[in-house]
Structure 1
């Protein structure tokens, strides 16, 4: 029996451990991920930026864990197609993987604003280890940073940038208060006071209109919907995520807000399961 797991974040790792524990040495396990790094905690990426954690300390499991578990590990490869009727997954390098059971645990991708300048150098999301590395590489030349989004990820990113020594950090919030989905006005005001004391500034009821590149293509500012331009050499977009459903959708699976599953996490495709974000 060959189990293939696409995605090696929390859901994928938990599935691999469970399959090995229940199936013993009699099952074959293969893990595919489009990230080159060993499995790590996305929740700790702001701590990595802040210098509170190392890349080693944010790993979900020790180095070589998958190999010790007897998992065929294929990092840095994206699964580009699924043919459930043939029980095959196709990878971007042309390889094909046959499976008896497949778990799609491909997580989600950040929602990036579709505005002018979105591809400008200095505009990032904070979703992957590579994102964190790229953001950190900008620190020596950043005096002003703009965070787009007043949710948990945006606020943690703002604190991380301040801890890393960025002098001026401004958070642009679309709603009238921070954490509008989690907190009432009183609680949001308490959070704002603490973050303001840490040196973070806030702009409410505002949306980005454009990222402004300089003469060399690097970011110099963020233009808001009211016409204001905030000087910035770095912008971090924290406007939520969108589930990665393309693989299942193109294979004919039922997809809504995410990949549709039953109580056993079975998709509408035969022998294909889904879990995670």
Structure 2
């Protein structure tokens, strides 16, 4: 029997300036080298280029950690990331203001708890669509009373990931990423991490995804951030700050596929990056 009901999401106001753009780029590992002039455009100009994954932050205001799912009993620390989809409707400028609205797409019980898919649409102050985020979360140990119905996905032939790159993370990576506004203590407080079943604080899933996405795009294009159209990725296990992420890449320039692991343990799966043509 269904127990949950739709949350009442307030209109979320947001805005950023070049300061936030630069801070985000540094938090996800840019520049990869202080001699990389393309990457320096992300952090050292008056109007820095904006990494497309910056728009993933627009979904955070309506997180299940902040706005509870009515009818489901849980604590904020019970919410974990399971997947993320991002679609951009054009390149992001270095300054912008706007609003976001959200709705629940699906709720269902799975073995580990309640799986929730939430859609957030963000528009600028003129009403033009900027980004669409779909966040998949699992509320550990909770019950919604509704069966999980996986979304239909087209079958496709899976080709091998024929290229590999390594993406290093810093021991302080989670502390840097927390400066973007996601200060969940699971990522910086050892006691909270141990209470959640981890030996030490883990890296934000969105940080791992952003670092890998930037590396994948940079590997196949010449800093072709503006050609980004869509990202989809699943989070399968956590990355610990200081880990080196091994990324396998396949597909073609306009439709890249990737997966990532640490020491043979899969951390990101079913990764897709779609680009507007070959950059």
**Highest RCO, 1 vs 2 (Cα 8 Å, sep ≥ 6):** 1
Give me the TM-score of the superposition, normalised by structure 1.
0.23
Give me the TM-score of the superposition, normalised by structure 2.
0.23
Q: Which has the higher strand share?
A: 2
Q: Which has the higher helix share?
A: 1
